[in-house]
Amino acid sequence: MDKLLFRRILVAGLTALAIIYVVYLLLSANFNVIPTENAEQVTVTDKIYSNGYIIRDETYVKNTSGGVVSYNVDDGDEVKKGGSVASVFSSEEDAVARTKAASLEDSMKALTKLEQTRRSNTEGIETVNNDITTNIETFLYNINNANIGKLDSNINSIINSVNHYQSFTGKTSSFKPEIASLQSQINELKKSSGDSIADIKAPKAGYFVANCDGYENCFDYSKIGNLTLDNLKNMKKSSVPDNTIGKVISSLNWYIACEITADEATDLTLWGDDVTLDFSDASSNTVPASIYKIVQYNNSDKALVILQCTYMDTTLSEIRLEPVEIGMGSYSGLRVSKKAIHDDYVEKTTYDDKGNEHKESKKVQGVYVLYGSEVQFKEISIVYAGNDYVLCDSSPTDGTLFSGETISLYDQIITEGDDLYDGKVIK
């Protein structure tokens, strides 16, 4: 036989044998595969999902003088009782000119302060750089939270901090020419426009918001403790007076009222602690809150919860009816599918005062874990139960477990299988 032909036949035969062997190994392995999942560390928050109605202590701010209004404060700014909220001008041109002049005055004051700082040189470069970083972060935060009214002020702060850097590093020797130019523009604007004809003042101290939605007086804030589920369902907006230019949100506390199920009301009652609020459609911030009141009704599967909050920002000052997630607490543990949980016996060894050994056994809740080819039953301590899984404590306190042993991170937990028992060897 030709040597080349013989070699080809030999190679083909060996290749066929190798393929058959690999297929055999794969079939053998798959035949004995047991479905498992790794025990992974997970943190979850127990939440209630509802729609919230915001109730605040709100007072309309009105313009009784007519004319054109120019605001002196931004949305979300704190105002004092009697403090200036807006100025009224006889024409649009006057209002625009005076608003522009006020903006230029702010810029001139900032440059004047920088000129004084340049001469005294009392700050370090690290402080200057940190100022730039902080202002940029604040700007991005307000963009992310739709605090549009704050952006102009943020931009001015960024420009001011960059100017400070230019001055400190010697790239700008003096701001006197810019200050003189600004003063000239301010004088020209004031000369060509009329003074304000009225000053609108805040009726109360609090946060100013220009937008009004008509729900400001739907329920008496001072009677929040008397709110019922029927009141909540029948809230209707009213028309906002034509001469209204905004509102002041007073009082430290504001409230959110939610319709929940009777079971959720029971969960909140048992929780009885502070909660967190997430308004995913309106704000990226998690808002701390406390349970003010829970109202449950006989023969009803519905209930009312009123939550009290003190944290306020521009976005929160403007929302009214929002989807809300009420967080009752966070739980951490090793995630285990409920289908993997079984009842089986575990054993522990104890010793009496004389040193005699005693063995005790008890049926407990646990899971089967695959260690190599051996199955071991491990007791578990459940800290939280979801719909199809539980979280287990990987380090429970002494005395929690009968056996004293439990699962560990990345253990291979068997999720399916017949005739499972402790010590079984998978062949």
pLDDT at residue 111 greater than cutoff 90: no
Residue 33 has pLDDT above 80, yes or no: no
* pLDDT for position 327: 94
d(CA 162, CA 166): 6
Percent residues over pLDDT 70 in the chain: 89
DSSP-based three-state secondary structure for 142? helix
Q: How far apart are CA 213 and CA 224, in angstroms?
A: 20
Q: Give residues with Cβ within 8 angstroms of 360, minimum separation 6.
A: 347, 348, 349, 350
pLDDT at position 141 = 78
| Residue 30 pLDDT grade (very low, low, confident, very high; cuts 50, 70, 90) | very low
- Averaged pLDDT score across all residues of the chain: 86
Average pLDDT over residues 11-21: 69
User: Which amino acid type is present at position 198?
Assistant: A
> Where do the structural domains in the chain lie, given as residue ranges?
1-31, 36-41+334-414, 48-56+205-329, 91-193
State residue 5's pLDDT score: 60
Hey, what CATH class is 48-56+205-329 in?
Answer: mainly beta
Burial of 405 from C-beta contacts in 10 A (0-12 / 13-18 / 19+):
middle
Hey, which residues does 66 pair with through a beta bridge? none
Annotate 2-71 with DSSP letters as a single string: -HHHHHHHHHHHHHHHHHHHHHHHHHHHHHT---EEE-EEEEEEEEEEEEEEEEEEEEEEE--S-SEEEE
CA-wise closest residue to 299 among 259, 265, 262, 267: 262
Is the pLDDT assigned to residue 27 strictly greater than 90? no
Q: Residue 31: pLDDT band by 50, 70, 90 thresholds?
A: very low
Q: Tell me, what's the pLDDT at 239?
A: 93
pLDDT at 23: 60
Q: In whole angstroms, what is the distance from residue 232 CA to residue 293 CA?
A: 14
Helices (H), 220-291: 229-233, 262-271
Instruction: Point out the least confidently predicted range of 166-170, 214-218, 351-355.
Output: 166-170
User: Taking a C-beta distance cutoff of 8 angstroms, is the pair 300, 310 a contact?
Assistant: no
Q: Are 396 and 339 in contact (CB under 8 A)?
A: no
101 exposed, middle or buried (CB, 10 Å; 0-12, 13-18, 19+)?
buried
Average pLDDT over residues 351-379: 90
Nearest Cα to 55, choosing from 235, 246, 284? 235
The structure's pTM equals 0.66
55-109 residue pLDDT tens: 999 999 999 988 999 999 888 889 999 999 999 998 889 888 888 888 888 888 8
pLDDT at 354: 81
Helix 125-144 and helix 151-168, axial crossing angle in degrees, nearest 10? 160
Q: How many residues does the chain have?
A: 427
User: Which pLDDT value is given to residue 15?
Assistant: 73
Domain 36-41+334-414 class in CATH: mainly beta
Q: State the first-to-last Cα distance of the chain, in angstroms, to the nearest integer.
A: 46
List pLDDT tens digits, range 145-204.
Answer: 666 666 677 777 787 777 777 777 767 777 788 888 888 888 888 887 888 899 999 999
Q: What is the pLDDT of residue 149?
A: 64
Q: Nearest 5°: phi and psi at 175?
A: -105, 10
127 pLDDT above the threshold of 50: yes
Section 117-123 average pLDDT: 60
Better-predicted residue by pLDDT, 83 or 283:
83
8 Å CB contact between 199 and 87: yes
Tell me, what's the pLDDT at 216?
94
pLDDT in tens, 232-279: 999 999 999 999 999 999 998 999 999 999 999 999 999 888 999 999
